[in-house]
């Protein structure tokens, strides 16, 4: 049974790294003392070691150890043996490219479908969708495919932003870009606002956090889902 936390961001507003998720993560990773971290997205270009240390500093407060997947000789074996997995945010194109290069996209999907507890933030949440095509990131590399894990029945638009009232120009809004996506694709898109996350248990997805999420489906008007409600698609 799938057991996922799919979060829009790692740092909410003026908080510290992952602090808004602390109580959730205590329960989510309660049955493991070590978390396998996938640092491939490299936010701001930091190294895998630097990123892993940042994550380790946080999880040490929860009495958990963290090991980066890049330190294993056999990444596939590390995935299959992990009791808990976290993929952090950064550049989604880079993340997906590295997962395919290291031949661990399919093994990661397999263990998540079989119930390994997983946390994704930002790019690590985009990874959970059917494709990565609703990322906001720059295409700094060219992955071999846009297909991702497909462990949830939609794509994620992390850090979803609403239009700012009385602003004369802010470029294309997120809603505009998602409508453009739906001229060519039928995949539903979930706009996940900052401080919100999806709790996935088996095939049930429930919105968590203080804010609503915005749902986009091809040929329909966008609509809101209230927090603590199940997310369903036709």
- Per residue in 116-144, pLDDT tens? 999 999 999 999 999 999 999 999 999 99
For residues 205, 130, 197, 204, the Cα torsion angle rounded to the nearest 10 degrees is 10
Given a cut of 70, whether residue 170 has pLDDT beyond it is no
Region 102-111 average pLDDT: 98
Given a cut of 80, whether residue 171 has pLDDT beyond it is no
Question: Which residues are tagged catalytic?
Answer: 122, 137, 159
Average pLDDT, the chain: 96
* Residue ranges covered by each domain of the chain: 3-225
- Sorted by sequence, the CB contacts under 8 Å of residue 163 that are 6+ apart come out as 170, 173, 175
Region 24-45 average pLDDT: 97
Task: Give 15's pLDDT tier (boundaries 50, 70, 90).
Answer: confident
**CATH topology for the 3-225 domain:** Rossmann fold (3.40.50)
- Specify the pTM: 0.96
């Amino acid at each position: 049974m799938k057991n996922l936390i799919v979060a829009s961001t790692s740092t909410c507003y003026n908080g510290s790294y992952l602090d808004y998720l602390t109580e959730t993560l205590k329960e989510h990773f309660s049955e493991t003392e070590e978390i396998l971290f996938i640092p491939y997205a490299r936010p701001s270009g930091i190294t895998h070691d630097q990123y892993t240390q940042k994550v380790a500093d946080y999880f040490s407060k929860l009495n958990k150890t963290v090991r980066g997947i890049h330190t294993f000789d056999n990444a596939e074996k590390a995935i299959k043996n992990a009791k808990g997995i976290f993929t952090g945010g950064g550049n989604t194109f880079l993340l997906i490219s590295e997962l395919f290069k290291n031949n661990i996209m399919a093994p990661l999907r397999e263990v998540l479908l079989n119930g390994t507890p997983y946390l994704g933030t930002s790019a690590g949440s985009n990874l959970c969708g059917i494709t990565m095509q609703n990322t906001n990131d720059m295409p700094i590399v060219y992955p071999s495919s846009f297909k991702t894990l497909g462990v949830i029945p939609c794509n994620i638009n992390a850090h979803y932003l609403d239009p700012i009232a009385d602003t004369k120009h802010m470029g294309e809004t997120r809603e505009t870009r998602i409508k453009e996506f739906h001229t060519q694709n039928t995949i539903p898109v979930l706009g996940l606002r900052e401080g919100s996350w999806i709790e996935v248990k088996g095939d049930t997805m429930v919105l968590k956090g203080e804010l609503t999420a915005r749902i986009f489906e091809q040929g329909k008007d966008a609509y809101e889902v209230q927090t603590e409600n199940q997310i369903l698609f036709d």
